[in-house]
Amino acid sequence: MRSRFDAIMERRAEIMKRALGMDYAEFERSPIAFDYEKLMAAHGYSLDDIRAIQSARGVGGTPLLELRNLAELVRSYAPAGCGARLFVKDEAANMAGSFKDRRASMSIHVAAEKGYEGVIAATSGNYGAAVASQAARAGLKCIICQEAFDSHHIGQPEIIEKSRLCETFGAEVIQMTVGPELFSHMLELLDETGYFSASLYSSFGVSGIETLGAEIAEEMVALTGAPPTHVVITHAGGGNTTGTARGLKRAGATETEIVSASVDLSGLHMASDTDFNRKSFTTGHTGFGVPFATWPDRADVPRNAARSLRYMDRYLTVTQGEVFYATEALAKLEGLERGPSGNTALAAAISLARELPREATVVVQETEYTGAGKHHWAQLAFARERGIEVRAGDPAESVPGKSIVIPERPEQIRATEVDLGRLRRSYVRNALAHAPDGYVPTPDDIAFLAEDTNSTSEAVGEIVAGLAAGE
């Protein structure tokens, strides 16, 4: 007998077509390939259009700040001639306090333009607050579906903080325990209400982040005479990397190296009730970063516009303790108290800057607001209550879900390189697994997979041949 969950998930494409006003079938070329650029352009807004929409909604134009004191700290222990300049794009200056306002502003604009009465989003994070804020400005109703508790109804302080903010903006917040019902219940609500889906993974939302990349390129040219050599981007579902990288390229920063960064939470399962409260980060971690990189179409939309492997040049991971250290350093050396999730990229940038020449320029692509529940002290107190060991020492000794080791010295911040070749192989494997049984990839499929993995047709062909041979 079909479950309620199965019944609603089988109707996902039909519901999302009505809830987004977009027929994804027109982009499909085969069971594997689709026209990504046509999907991204289908909304019809130019980059200048998006800038104007965001400006009218109090979004964008955030400060780009040089972190001179942090850079000097890095140079104090870097090899001779090394220690890149550090900058940060302060996205906490947006309406709801994060870069997600850029994403939400476009979804809400489209919803209002198409005549929807309200919007729905499924998120436990900053995006819910951004959608609620933008919906309030547009006079639209708003429902936020939030994965908030474990089965004992214990919620992380950061998630509870975000619930409070969503409700402050007038949204109805529906809280659920961890599990697969988050997206299924969102689909049920979209079906019942006829509201617009403010999906994190639509082309509307991801295009809204392109202005962030463009601003970084333009402001760095004004400040330094050239685009940044490196941009470090906190990576979860992939939209942040995708949108920022696209914006950089559209503004002419084609040589800028795109570095994604996640908190290493390997060993913890994001859909596990027991693991849910054993982590101190609700986003920006490998529990989202790796699965979405290796199969982006696991999202609520038929084709995910956030396809991070297309744009990554490097992928670094850092520990929870290293991010907390970077958070304290940012506050005490630069006078910026910002939320820990946004400082994931900062921790990776501190490690990266150490190995780069002094003339290199590294931009940390975003910050986020902090608050009572989001503050790193609240997160550490909650971790101790859950039986997690919190201590100072070598962060390399950290074990996700068991210990958080905060560096004693800044030189102990050492990001770990993720093997992009392994991620590309996993992505190709997943693409083949989701094709019909017996389907043989065409040359067009191989070319699409090469674009989607930022590699070559020859490299993809070797992966396909190896998988066919059982390697």
Q: 257: domain CATH number?
A: 3.40.50.1100
- Residues 321 and 343 grouped into a single domain: yes
- Residues 107 and 68 grouped into a single domain: no
Question: The tokens 């800057």 sit on which residue?
Answer: 353
pLDDT 10s digits, 157-170:
888 899 999 999 99
**Residue 372, pLDDT score:** 86
- Residues 63 and 178 grouped into a single domain: no
- Residues 108 and 166 grouped into a single domain: yes
- Residues 308 and 347 grouped into a single domain: yes
Residue 37's contacts (CB-CB under 8 Å, 6 or more residues apart) are none
- Residues 336 and 436 grouped into a single domain: no
Q: Domain span at residue 440?
A: 420-468
Please check the confidence at residue 269 and state whether its pLDDT lies above 90.
Answer: no
Instruction: Tell me the HSE value of 220 on the side-chain side, using a 13 A CA sphere.
Output: 28
Is 32 among the domain residues?
A: no
Instruction: Tell me the HSE value of 88 on the side-chain side, using a 13 A CA sphere.
Output: 31
Neighbours of 295 (CB within 10 A): 17
Is 149 among the domain residues?
A: yes
Neighbours of 454 (CB within 10 A): 17
- Residues 168 and 279 grouped into a single domain: no
* CA 60 to the chain's CA centroid: 18
Please check the confidence at residue 451 and state whether its pLDDT lies above 60.
Answer: yes
**Residue 358, pLDDT score:** 98
Neighbours of 298 (CB within 10 A): 14
Tell me the C-alpha distance between 83 and 361, whole Å: 9
- Residues 139 and 172 grouped into a single domain: yes
Question: The tokens 């993995």 sit on which residue?
Answer: 453
The proportion of the chain whose per-residue pLDDT surpasses 90, expressed as a percent, equals: 83
pLDDT 10s digits, 12-62:
889 999 999 999 999 999 999 999 999 999 999 999 999 999 999 999 999
Is 316 among the domain residues?
A: yes
**Residue 468, pLDDT score:** 85
Mean pLDDT computed over every residue of the chain: 95
Is 256 among the domain residues?
A: yes
H-run or E-run covering 224: helix 203-224
Is 251 among the domain residues?
A: yes
List the single range of 1-5, 298-302, 367-371, 450-454 with lowest mean pLDDT. 1-5
Strands 361-364 vs 230-234: parallel, antiparallel or unpaired:
parallel
**Residue 11, pLDDT score:** 87
Tell me the C-alpha distance between 366 and 234, whole Å: 8
H helix intervals, 301-456: 320-334, 344-355, 376-385, 420-433, 443-452
The residue among 355 and 123 whose pLDDT is bigger is 355
- Residues 82 and 111 grouped into a single domain: no
pLDDT-derived band at 1 (thresholds 50, 70, 90) equals low
Tell me the C-alpha distance between 238 and 292, whole Å: 7
- Residues 280 and 399 grouped into a single domain: yes
Tell me the C-alpha distance between 234 and 232, whole Å: 7
**Residue 7, pLDDT score:** 84
- Residues 255 and 346 grouped into a single domain: yes
**Residue 309, pLDDT score:** 98
Last residue of a domain, one of 203, 220, 242: 203
Tell me the C-alpha distance between 104 and 109, whole Å: 8
Tell me the C-alpha distance between 339 and 326, whole Å: 11
In this structure, is the dihedral angle defined by the CA atoms of residues 242, 247, 248 and 254, taken in order, positive or negative? positive
SS3 assignment, position 394: coil
Is 39 among the domain residues?
A: no
Average pLDDT over residues 108-126: 93
Q: What single-letter DSSP state applies at residue 353?
A: H
Is 429 among the domain residues?
A: yes
Number of domains in the chain: 3
Average pLDDT over residues 75-80: 98
Residue 392 near residue 408, CB atoms below 8 Å: yes
Instruction: Tell me the HSE value of 344 on the side-chain side, using a 13 A CA sphere.
Output: 30
Burial 28-37 (b: 16+ CB within 10 A, else e): eeeebbbebe
Last residue of a domain, one of 165, 186, 203: 203
Last residue of a domain, one of 203, 238, 258: 203
Question: The tokens 């209550």 sit on which residue?
Answer: 385
pLDDT 10s digits, 171-199:
999 998 887 778 888 999 999 999 999 99
- Residues 92 and 238 grouped into a single domain: yes
pLDDT 10s digits, 373-411:
889 999 999 999 999 999 999 999 999 999 999 999 999
**Residue 2, pLDDT score:** 64
Please check the confidence at residue 97 and state whether its pLDDT lies above 60.
Answer: yes
Highest mean pLDDT among 227-236, 266-275, 280-289: 227-236
Residue 217 near residue 253, CB atoms below 8 Å: yes
Q: What is the pTM of this model?
A: 0.96
Question: In one letter, which amino acid is 156?
Answer: Q
pLDDT 10s digits, 401-410:
999 999 999 9
Q: What are phi and psi of 392, to 5 degrees?
A: -90, 150
Burial 235-245 (b: 16+ CB within 10 A, else e): bbbbbbbbbbb
Strands 230-234 vs 416-417: parallel, antiparallel or unpaired:
unpaired
Is 44 among the domain residues?
A: no
